[in-house]
Structure 1
Amino acid sequence: MVKYFTTKCDINAAWDHVVSAFWQRYPNPFSTHVLTEDVVYREVTTDHRLLSRRLLTKTNRLPRWAEHFFPAGMSRSVYIVEDSIVDPISRSLTTYTWNLNHTTLMSVEERCVFRDSAEQPGATQLKREAWITSGIYGFSRPIQEFGLARFKSNQVRAMKGLEYALSNLQGETPQRLLRGSVKETSDVAKGAPQSLASTASTTQNPQHYV
């Protein structure tokens, strides 16, 4: 089974400001676990969408019980692929991220959609979804529970980092810019998105576009 989690919130900033801050959110004092970020692919399509693929290296301290699942000498760093589409026509930014290594222990797939808020003029709505799975027989449920708790903690820091980047762009003191709701569905069979290709069919490389 898959642990599914979703949140929705409004960011009190215009969509174009949020998109600009998204590209400038690292480094920030709330995301010191993000070690590196590299653009490995970028293209502007004929319909003016910006497609990007980035590789990020992150580290998180493992709980003591998880050390038993890691062979001696195995890297504790996590390599993350982030695919994104900026569509200036529909004013949306869609991102899809997943981890490349340690997938037997835990796989975390995340999709975020930033678009103009329908309820708050001048604000940006963010919908975030995550799918957490584990392939460790007999321990998948507690590992998924741990992964969900870690994911929530990391997203709090991620949003503080985005607020920090927005404040820097606007020349303001960091402030609370978010208001929203959280919905969690435990142990559901709701599948993660297969790829980004369905909405970026004009490009063949890379093959995973949301």
Structure 2
Amino acid sequence: MHYFSQLFHYDHPWSHVVIGMWHKYPNPHCTHVVTIDVVDRSVDPQTGIIRTERILGCKQKAPTWIVRVFGGSEDAFVREVSYVDPKTQTATISSVNLSLSQFATCNEMIRYSPSSDNQRTVFSQTAEIQARMTLWRAAADKLENWLVQRFEQNAQLGKLGFSDVLRTMWETKDRQLACAH
């Protein structure tokens, strides 16, 4: 099993980031995400927590050896479940690959929470990546290494893309408000 984690701050308040997370895709940095389908959305009347389940459709070039060994195609699907708690100001997103999950799984967890000054948002991301081929340990290690590298690349692209989305959504609005006064 391989692990990935990162922690950083977005220079926007939590409320802006949570609104922005529904507009993250499509963006020019994350062209591998091609479809987003909302499967279910509900609000708990007791807590006010918003639960959303989505399926993300992705297209990614897989190395030839992976396609030969495991089959499949460039099309991949990911199940994402998010919880937004307006009272505690936390948003959590968990995701897992649906495609080729019999060979490898990637369990990702994201958390957005306000920084201590409430002007920025803390972003934490972890992923556990595990190949499921106990008989072929060498192939499993190679697959896990490739998956971790791909995950890290996509995580960096996701950070760039989301930063651009937030900048476009909020800095443009802030400038318009400043000009109106």
Please indicate, yes or no, whether the TM-score normalized by the shorter chain is above 0.5.
yes
- Structure with more helix by fraction: 2
- Aligned-pair CA distance for 1:121: 4.1
The within-5 A match list for 1:33-112 is 33-46=32-45, 47-71=47-71, 74-112=72-110
Which structure has more RCO (C-alpha within 8 Å, separation ≥ 6)? 1
Q: Which runs of 5+ in 1 are unaligned?
A: 173-210
In 2: Cα distance, 1:171 partner to 1:89 partner: 26
Runs of 4+ in 1 over 2 A off after TM superposition: none
Q: How many residues are aligned here?
A: 168
TM-score by length of 2: 0.88
Q: Which runs of 5+ in 2 are unaligned?
A: 173-181
Q: Tell me the residue number matched to 1:22.
A: 21
Q: Which of 120, 123, 137 is residue 120 of structure 2 equivalent to?
A: 123
Is contact 2:4–2:152 with CA below 8 Å preserved after alignment?
no
Which amino acid is the alignment partner of residue 112 of structure 2?
Answer: F
Which amino acid is the alignment partner of residue 115 of structure 2?
Answer: S
Indicate how the Cα distance of structure 1 residues 117 and 171 shifts in structure 2: closer, same or farther if over 3 A, else same.
closer
- Aligned-pair CA distance for 1:64: 2.2
Q: Percent identity over the alignment?
A: 26
Is contact 1:69–1:105 with CA below 8 Å preserved after alignment?
no
Check if 1:167 corresponds to 2:167. Answer: yes
TM-score by length of 1: 0.76
The within-5 A match list for 1:171-210 is 171-172=171-172
